[in-house]
Amino acid sequence: MEIPRYPEFMRLELAHKEFFDAAFKKCPPEISEFTFTNLFSWRKAYGFKVSSLGESLILGCDSGEGARFMQPIGIADSYAVIEKVLRDTQGAFIRIPESAAKLFESNSLFKVEEDRNNADYLYLSSALINLPGRKYDGKRNQIKRFKSEYEYTYRDSKGSDIEHIMEFEEAWCALKGCDHIEGLNSERQALKEIAANFKDFKLKCGIIALKGKIRAVAIAEMLNPETLVMHMLKADPAIPGLYQVMLNDFLRAHGQSVHYVNLEQDLGVEGLRVSKQSYHPLTLIKKYTVSAKI
């Protein structure tokens, strides 16, 4: 399926995967949004549509007000493409990495705003696996206590458990009230897309079961040659220490060969922010909104 030339767009489809994979290989991404798995599974929530301009792919977003786009994909220097699209549309580019946003700071025709709620948390993989030093005492104690109180099994999944994983997701959603929280409901729909197309994505999946029933799940994939990005990390909130064990066991299985782990953003949710900061990130991958001044 060919991608139309800018300014024409078409809805993002699974058949576009080969184009995105080639573009990401050519210019490895740093932000968590940029895997085809993520883009495709969230395409309905964001109304993603795709076009091509020069050697880049452009994603438009129909959600929200006004014309919105994401960082051009497949080119290292995106200034000219972003500038052209902003001049044409008077819209905005969202989730732009700091390296690209800085190029517009001195241009009085454009406004650059930091998007703290969507900054990615980046960690050293070795730190999350080994939990070294006093600052990780609490995490090690949570893991130790869980293992002393529960018999559990961790294993990798190749997709054969996907039906049971989604049953776990529905149970988790019942506890968290996903039906009444737009973001959690959109996340549930995205996970359904991942489940329905699991075989088409290069995903790493791990589960923890207690008494034969799934109680925690982790799903991730490679974001770039040095970084693993976590798409799903959930555990039964009624079982203390299970979340910490899920993350640690999963990374012992899949994080030994990578330098970094990206645990995505906190979306401005205080509980998520506290949780992610408690693992002592190496850095935050800042993102920005670049828009045309009216």
User: What letter does residue 5 receive in the DSSP assignment?
Assistant: B
Distances in Å between the alpha carbon of 5 and those of 9, 47, 71, 133, 229? 7, 18, 17, 53, 30
Burial class of 86 by CB neighbour count within 10 A (0 to 12, 13 to 18, 19+): buried
Helix or strand (DSSP H, E) at 284: strand 283-285
pLDDT of 48 > 80? The answer is yes
CA 227 to chain centre: 12
Residue 197's nearest CA partner among 73, 7, 40 is 40
- For 99-156, write each residue's pLDDT tens digit: 999 999 988 999 999 999 999 999 999 999 999 999 999 999 999 999 999 999 999 9
d(CA 253, CA 247): 10
> Is 70 exceeded by the pLDDT of residue 216?
yes
Average pLDDT over every residue of 26-30: 96
Average pLDDT, integer, range 74-102: 95
What pLDDT, on the 0 to 100 scale, is given for residue 66? 86
Q: Half-sphere exposure of residue 216, counting CA atoms within 13 Å on the CB side?
A: 25
pTM: 0.95
pLDDT of residue 294: 66
N-term to C-term CA, the chain: 37
DSSP state of 2: P
Counting residues of the chain whose pLDDT is more than 90, the rounded percentage is 92
Average pLDDT over residues 271-276: 94
Tens digits of residue pLDDT in 2-17: 999 999 999 999 999 9
Residue 64 confidence class, pLDDT cut points 50, 70, 90? confident
Instruction: Render pLDDT for 30-43 as a digit per residue (tens, 0 to 9).
Output: 999 999 999 999 99
* Contact yes or no for 31/120 (Cβ under 8 A): yes
Are 51 and 4 in contact by the 8 Å Cβ rule? The answer is yes
- Could you tell me the CA-to-CA distances from 157 to 96, 128, 196, 208, 245 in Å, in that order? 33, 21, 15, 10, 17
Mean pLDDT for the chain overall? 95
Residue 29, preceding peptide bond in cis (omega within 30° of 0): no
The percentage of the chain sitting over the pLDDT mark of 70, rounded to a whole number, equals: 100
> Does pLDDT of 87 surpass 80?
yes
- H/E run at residue 59: strand 56-61
Q: Return the pLDDT at 1.
A: 77
- In the chain the domains, ranked by start, together with CATH numbers, are 10-116+288-292 (3.40.630.30), 120-264 (3.40.630.30)
| Tens digit of each residue's pLDDT (9 = 90 or more) over 175-210 | 999 999 988 899 999 999 999 999 999 999 999 999
Encoding tokens for residue 37?
A: 């798995």
